[in-house]
Chains A and B, each alone.
Chain A
Amino acid sequence: MLDGLFIGLQTVLTLHNLILVFAGCATGTLIGMLPGLGPITAIALMIPITYGFDPSSGMILLAGVYYGAIFGGSTSSILINAPGVAGTVATAFDGYPIARNGQPGKALAIAAYSSFAGGTLAALLLAGTAPFLADLSLGFQSADYFALMLLGLTLVSAFSSQGEYLKALMMTCFGLMLSTVGTDLSAGVQRFTFGRMDLIDGISFLMLAMATFALSEAVMMVLQSTRAKEPTIRLHKTSLHLSLPELRAIIPTVSRSSVLGFFVGVLPGAGATIASFLAYGVERNLATSEDQKQFGQGSIKGLAAPEAANNAACTGSFVPLLTLGIPGSGTTAILLGALLAYGIQPGPRLFIDEPEIFWSVIVSMYFGNLMLLVLNLPLIPYIARLLLVPRQYLIPIIMFFSLMGVYLVSFNVFDIQMMVFIAICAVLLRLLQFPMAPLLLGFILGGMLEDNLRRALAVADGQFSFLWDRPTTVVLMSLVVIAILIPMTRALWPKSSR
């Protein structure tokens, strides 16, 4: 492990890569701060830029963007009570009241310190567990991978918010459908191309991500612009200082929430949202009755818990990505897409074949968190001015960068039309309250799922016995069945399950 960390440090500690970490954090913060635009959009917008870099540098930049976007989302939660993403909703519960009580600097500082601690603890846990898991998964065969991918897809739906299970499952199927468009590489036949040359290579994941997140988000902002907005809190001459008793009060909260967040993040599909709400709930339950009254009114523990947990969960979500090649969330799905675009196949072999990428991502997480604390936090009063830029200017600029991000990869105007069409579908689905992340996950995993199923069947002479031949496959398939049955029962008989 120490050798690996050394390799990672060597890769990250170059001027070029440190600048990329900072640039990623700053850009991520800027984008993530805009209400509605979360880490998925931020990463999607930045991927075209990374095509010119080597894979390690590209991933370092994107990891920085990821952290920056989470931090930016917390900033908008605290300052305007408009969480950029679901993962920072719990941040607003106490962050906004603290800011409204005239201490926005303190709220941002608590968020930054908690995020830093959460991210750092989780990076250490990741460095400790990832090689072990990667070693363990080296023995995986196609059948296990098939079961694992199925588990990833079902868990994403299972962890969706209450009442949304069937919708999430439906969106996963939709993502799988889109993944079958193009040429089937094993047989060399075209599927669902409708005779169009533009579709022979299939739908690009970048286009899908941009259309379903960045473009549709821009359109949703316009659609919902009549809604009343909370006033923006100004940050002139605010203090970012925390007193020693305040720091002492949040240290146990941050430690507990970080560990909890990391392990929740490791579960495919659980992610930052569940981690932050869970940590908030745990801390409220553990608090004294006096402290409990503060929750929702501006409790520093109520702010520190979700912030530490969501950052730790983000790091935790890299465990299945780096060790198994399975994305556990929409954001890691898009990072997986980026790795595939660089020609890198994530999975247990990544640890052996490309150790500099594996370790540089882990080390860059730590440096990303450090950058956010040391450089971004003092810059927040200036960065937050972006919130004052009129939406009439911001939305078209987001649209332009989304369109260009896709066009510059293919130089094909058909992609622009396709993007608009997908964005229309995405907006309609959002209005019908269908979640978008399972679509992306289904799309990314679809090809791999089919490939592993084909290989497993070939190995088993066309028999489906591969599903119960190996203990690992049996365990994973049992988990798949549980992940389908429990939420399905709740969805079909909602009252009886209470």
Chain B
Amino acid sequence: MLSITSARLGGILFLILCVAYGIYADDIHLDYWSEQEVFNARSMPYFIAVVGSFCAILLILVPAPKTDWSAVLNLNWLPACLLLVIMSGYGILLEPLGFVIATILLLITAFLVLGVRSFRAPLLVAATIAMAFWLLMDQLGIYLAPGAIPEQLFQYLGGAG
């Protein structure tokens, strides 16, 4: 029975990827003339899929040093995963909230997730970075949109005023 090492696990994942890649290569649309050519848009993907699958099989079969999975499991998973969620959230909120607000939120939440205990220092650092970066970009002529929600809010406040 083969034990699961990092190389073997990687090999299995890559084998699945290479097979899926090879299957999807079939979906590349070719016209009649391209299909007759020795080398067309599908050739390179087929070649990569075959070589990749061969390497993945070797990775699975070749003996490799045992992996200490407990060390991997004992890593700081929670803050790392939260950071990834925060970054993804930044991508979602950047357009509706605008650069400044979304950036302040990104930085503050990341500081807090990483263990900063007070709220004042992170707010100050985040606001300084966001405003300084926005001003720098403004000076360089790069427009960073204020965001749909703040824009509507300004319009509403302007209209009410």
A393 contacts B55, C-beta separation under 8 Å: no
Segment 73-113 of B: residues with Cβ below 8 Å from A: 74-77, 79-80, 83-84, 87-88, 90-92, 94-95, 103, 106-107, 110-111
B129 contacts A417, C-beta separation under 8 Å: no
The minimal Cβ–Cβ distance linking B77 to chain A, given in whole angstroms, is 7
B129 contacts A397, C-beta separation under 8 Å: yes
A174 contacts B84, C-beta separation under 8 Å: no
Chain A residues touching B, majority SS: helix
A327 to B25 Cα, complex, angstroms: 28
A403 contacts B39, C-beta separation under 8 Å: no
Residue of A nearest to B109 (CB): A396
Residues in B neighbouring A417, C-beta threshold 8 A: 88, 91-92
Residues in B neighbouring A189, C-beta threshold 8 A: 28-30, 34, 41
Cβ-neighbour of A416 out of B56, B87, B107, B111 (below 8 A):
B87
A351 to B85 Cα, complex, angstroms: 47
The number of residues on chain B lying at the interface, defined by a beta carbon within 8 Å of a beta carbon of chain A, is: 63
Asked if B114 lies at the interface with its beta carbon under 8 angstroms from chain A, I say yes
The minimal Cβ–Cβ distance linking B110 to chain A, given in whole angstroms, is 3
B107 contacts A397, C-beta separation under 8 Å: yes
A167 to B56 Cα, complex, angstroms: 9
Asked if A184 lies at the interface with its beta carbon under 8 angstroms from chain B, I say yes
Residues in B neighbouring A413, C-beta threshold 8 A: 91-92, 94-95
Asked if A192 lies at the interface with its beta carbon under 8 angstroms from chain B, I say yes
> 1/0 per residue B21-62: CB within 8 Å of A?
100110011100010011111001100100110011011001
Question: What size tier do the contact residues of chain A reach?
Answer: 35 or more
Asked if A235 lies at the interface with its beta carbon under 8 angstroms from chain B, I say no
A167 contacts B62, C-beta separation under 8 Å: no
Residue of B nearest to A157 (CB): B55
**Known: A166-B7, A222-B79, A226-B75. Contact between A420 and B107, CB under 8 A?**
no
B76 contacts A225, C-beta separation under 8 Å: yes
Cβ-neighbour of A191 out of B11, B28, B91, B103 (below 8 A):
B28
A169 contacts B114, C-beta separation under 8 Å: no
Segment 419-450 of A: residues with Cβ below 8 Å from B: 419-420, 423-424, 427, 429, 431-434, 446, 449-450
Given contacts A170-B52, A407-B94, 11 further A-B contacts (CB under 8 A): A166-B55, A167-B10, A173-B48, A191-B41, A192-B24, A223-B77, A393-B125, A400-B106, A413-B92, A413-B94, A454-B39
| 18 A-B pairs whose Cβ atoms sit less than 8 Å apart in the complex | A163-B65, A166-B62, A174-B17, A177-B17, A177-B21, A180-B44, A219-B83, A224-B75, A392-B116, A393-B125, A416-B88, A416-B90, A420-B84, A420-B88, A432-B9, A433-B7, A453-B44, A457-B38
Chain B residues engaging chain A, CB cutoff 8 angstroms: 6-7, 9-11, 14, 17-18, 21, 24-25, 28-30, 34, 37-41, 44-45, 48, 51-52, 55-56, 58-59, 62-65, 72, 74-77, 79-80, 83-84, 87-88, 90-92, 94-95, 103, 106-107, 110-111, 114-116, 125, 129, 133, 137, 140, 142
Chain A residues engaging chain B, CB cutoff 8 angstroms: 52, 163, 166-167, 169-170, 173-174, 176-177, 180, 184, 186-187, 189-192, 215, 218-219, 222-226, 390-393, 395-397, 399-400, 403-404, 407-408, 413-414, 416-417, 419-420, 423-424, 427, 429, 431-434, 446, 449-450, 453-454, 457, 462, 491-492, 494
| 3 closest cross-chain pairs (CB), A and B | A416-B91, A396-B110, A462-B38
